[in-house]
Amino acid sequence: MFEPYLMGLIPLLPALAGLVIFLFGPKVLKEASHWPLILACAASLFIALSGAYSLTRLGHEASFSHHAGIWFATGGTHPVVAGWDFRFDPISGMMTPMVCFLGLVIAMFSAGYMHGDPGYARYFGVFSLFVASMNLLLLADNLILLYAGWEGVGVCSYLLVGFWFAKPSAAKAARKAFLVTRIGDVGLLLGIFLLWAGCDFQLDLHTVLEKARQLPEDYIYFAGMLLFIGAMGKSAQFPLHVWLPDAMEGPTPVSALIHAATMVTAGVYLVARFLPVFSRSSSLLAFIAAIGCITALLAALIALTQNDLKRILAYSTISQLGYMFMGLGSADGAASQSELVTVAMTAGMFHLFTHAFFKALLFLSAGSIMHAMHHVIDIRKLGGLRHVLPWTHIGFLAGAVALAGLFPFSGFWSKEEILKSLDLAAHRTDGHPDAYKVMTWLALITSGLTAFYTFRAYFRVFWGEEVIPEEAHGHAHESPTSMVSQLLVLTPLALGIGWYFGYSHLLEHYLAKTHGFAHMEIEIASKSWIAITSQVLAVAGIALAYVVYIAKPALDGLMRKASGPFYKLSLNRFYLDELFTIVLVRPFQVLSWLIHVLDRELWDRLVDSVARLPAWLGDRVRPVQNGLIQFYALAMALGLTIFLVFLAFGDRLYR
Partner 1 sequence: MSPPGLSHYLVIGALLFVIGMIGFLTRRNMILMFLNAELMIQGVAINFVAFARHRGNLEGQGFFLFLLAVAACEAALALALILVLYKVNNSLDISIWQNLREDDMDPIVDEEPLPAALPPETAPKLPVAGTEPAQEEELSHV
- For partner 1, the binding residues (CB under 8 A) are 622-623, 625-630, 633-634, 637
**Side-chain-side CA neighbours of residue 384 (13 Å):** 7
| Whole-number Cα distances in Å, 157 to 154, 174, 180, 260, 267 | 5, 8, 12, 12, 15
Q: Which is nearer to partner 1, 57 or 622 (CB)?
A: 622
**DSSP letter, residue 518:** -
58 closest CA partner among 512, 519, 513, 511: 513
Q: How far is the CB of 650 from partner 1 (least distance, A)?
A: 20
Q: State how far the Cα of 67 lies from the Cα of 113, in Å rounded to an integer.
A: 39
Q: Which is nearer to partner 1, 559 or 633 (CB)?
A: 633
Q: Which is nearer to partner 1, 581 or 641 (CB)?
A: 641
Q: Which is nearer to partner 1, 565 or 618 (CB)?
A: 618
Q: Hey, what amino acid is at 32?
A: A
Cβ atoms of 430 and 336 closer than 8 Å: yes
Q: How far is the CB of 608 from partner 1 (least distance, A)?
A: 22
Q: How far is the CB of 652 from partner 1 (least distance, A)?
A: 21
Q: How far is the CB of 627 from partner 1 (least distance, A)?
A: 3
Q: Which is nearer to partner 1, 564 or 618 (CB)?
A: 618
Cβ atoms of 85 and 43 closer than 8 Å: no
**Side-chain-side CA neighbours of residue 61 (13 Å):** 7
Q: Which is nearer to partner 1, 70 or 640 (CB)?
A: 640
Q: How far is the CB of 645 from partner 1 (least distance, A)?
A: 15
Q: State how far the Cα of 539 lies from the Cα of 534, in Å rounded to an integer.
A: 9
Q: How far is the CB of 633 from partner 1 (least distance, A)?
A: 6
Q: Based on the number of CB atoms within 10 Å of its own CB, is 259 exposed (0-12), middle (13-18) or buried (19 or more)? A: buried
Q: Which is nearer to partner 1, 528 or 625 (CB)?
A: 625
Q: How far is the CB of 632 from partner 1 (least distance, A)?
A: 8
Q: State how far the Cα of 445 lies from the Cα of 536, in Å rounded to an integer.
A: 11
Q: Based on the number of CB atoms within 10 Å of its own CB, is 75 exposed (0-12), middle (13-18) or buried (19 or more)? A: exposed
For 324, other C-beta atoms within 10 Å of its C-beta total: 30
**∠158-290-360 over CA atoms, to 5°?**
40
Q: Which residues contact 350 (CB under 8 A, 6 or more apart)?
A: 413, 414, 417, 501, 502, 507, 508, 511
Q: Which is nearer to partner 1, 588 or 632 (CB)?
A: 632
Q: State how far the Cα of 329 lies from the Cα of 276, in Å rounded to an integer.
A: 11
Q: How far is the CB of 624 from partner 1 (least distance, A)?
A: 9
Q: How far is the CB of 646 from partner 1 (least distance, A)?
A: 19
Q: How far is the CB of 643 from partner 1 (least distance, A)?
A: 15
**DSSP letter, residue 465:** S
Cβ atoms of 482 and 109 closer than 8 Å: yes
Q: Which is nearer to partner 1, 591 or 637 (CB)?
A: 637
Q: Which is nearer to partner 1, 59 or 618 (CB)?
A: 618
Q: State how far the Cα of 330 lies from the Cα of 343, in Å rounded to an integer.
A: 9
Q: State how far the Cα of 475 lies from the Cα of 219, in Å rounded to an integer.
A: 62
Q: How far is the CB of 622 from partner 1 (least distance, A)?
A: 5
Q: Which is nearer to partner 1, 536 or 645 (CB)?
A: 645
**∠327-333-336 over CA atoms, to 5°?**
120
Q: How far is the CB of 635 from partner 1 (least distance, A)?
A: 11
505 closest CA partner among 420, 413, 406: 413
Three-state DSSP class for 69? strand
Q: How far is the CB of 611 from partner 1 (least distance, A)?
A: 20
Q: State how far the Cα of 492 lies from the Cα of 105, in Å rounded to an integer.
A: 14
Q: Which is nearer to partner 1, 619 or 651 (CB)?
A: 619
Q: Which is nearer to partner 1, 522 or 629 (CB)?
A: 629
Cβ atoms of 292 and 307 closer than 8 Å: no
Three-state DSSP class for 564? coil
Q: State how far the Cα of 200 lies from the Cα of 177, in Å rounded to an integer.
A: 35
**DSSP letter, residue 336:** S
